[in-house]
Copies of this chain bind each other. A is one copy, B any other.
Amino acid sequence: MSSENPKRMLFEQFAAVARTLGNGHRLELLELLAQGERSVERLADLSGLAIANASQHLQNLRRAGLVTTRREGKRIFYRLSDETVVSLLGSLRKVAERNLAEVERVVAGYFRERDALEPVTRPELIRRMRRGLATVIDVRPQEEFAAGHIPGAINVPLKDLARRLKELPSTKEVVAYCRGPYCVLSYEAVWALRHRGFKARRLEDGYPEWKMAGLPVELQSAGS
């Protein structure tokens, strides 16, 4: 049915890209890739997919031009093609969020006290960092932190949080961030910190959005 009408052909091409986004697992893979490049095995592991299945989804994404690959020895690393993909995902999220009552329900039900956590916006965080009013913690796993993070942030993976409370200021505000607006890590971190008497808030979105906004990033912190 590939009509010769050029307009319809274009719509068909656009639709093919949208169709590729039309699968929860592929969206999850894209979100993982927004953190940085990853091998097939790693992605399969992180997303809970069988390797062959993950491989096929990744190939779909590649066919749609959303990701590209790089070989390194036996491994093949996938990464997002460019930043336009991140902004497409952002638009998709925004529309879904705004238009689907269902999304509202899931968000409200799971992310506890969403508004009570009073997220900090990106420009607000920048101002507060400049004035030394905020300690920024990156609660993602060490590996993701190493691949890029907000300059000056301290890496405190969520699972280490409880035993590293000493490192955090008890009066100054702590701002936690992770992978993006729907990443639970920072929610959990803020919740935990508050229950221990800290002043803690979340960054309203995460590292991919920071990087995408063209703000400076820092690589490879000197090891703990």
- A interface residues (Cβ-Cβ under 8 A, vs B): 6-28, 31, 64-66, 81-82, 84-85, 87-88, 90-96, 98-100, 102-103, 106-107, 109-111, 182, 184
Is A92 a contact of B17 with CB atoms below 8 Å?
yes
Q: Assuming A65-B95, A96-B65, A184-B7, is B84 touching A13 (CB within 8 A)?
A: no
Report yes or no: B13 in contact with A28, Cβ–Cβ below 8 A: no
Q: How many copies does the complex hold?
A: 2
Taking A10-B107, A81-B99 as contacts, is the C-beta distance between A18 and B65 under 8 angstroms? Answer: no
Q: Determine whether the beta carbon of A10 is less than 8 Å from that of B99.
A: no
In the A-B complex, list the 5 residue pairs whose CB atoms are closest, starting with the nearest.
Answer: A65-B99, A19-B22, A18-B21, A6-B110, A11-B24
Cβ contacts under 8 Å, A25 to chain B: 11
CA distance A75 to B18 in the complex (A): 30
- Determine whether the beta carbon of B99 is less than 8 Å from that of A88: no
Q: Is the CB of A15 within 8 A of B22?
A: yes
Complex contacts, A7 vs chain B, CB 8 Å:
28, 182, 184
Min distance, Cβ A39 to any Cβ of chain B, angstroms: 21
**Contact between A91 and B100, CB atoms less than 8 A apart:** no
Q: Select one of B84, B95, B103, B182 contacting A66, CB under 8 A.
A: B95
- Is A85 in contact with B95, judged by CB distance below 8 angstroms? yes
A21 touching B15 by the CB < 8 A rule?
yes
Given contacts A23-B15, A27-B14, A107-B10, contact A94 B88 (CB under 8 A): yes
Question: Are A100 and B6 within 8 A (Cβ)?
Answer: no
Q: Answer whether A106 and B9 are a contact pair too, CB < 8 Å, given A95-B66, A98-B82.
A: yes
| Contact of A13 with B103 in the complex, beta carbons under 8 Å | yes
CB pair B106–A10 under 8 Å, yes or no, is: yes
- A88 adjacent to B95 (CB under 8 Å): yes
Q: Is the CB of B24 within 8 A of A99?
A: no
Contact between chains at B11 and A28 (CB < 8 Å): yes
Cβ–Cβ contact A14 & B93, under 8 A: yes
- A40 CB to nearest B CB, Å: 19
In angstroms, Cα B90 to Cα A83, docked, is: 14
Q: Are A8 and B28 in contact (CB under 8 A)?
A: yes
**Cβ contacts under 8 Å, A92 to chain B:** 14, 17-18, 88, 91
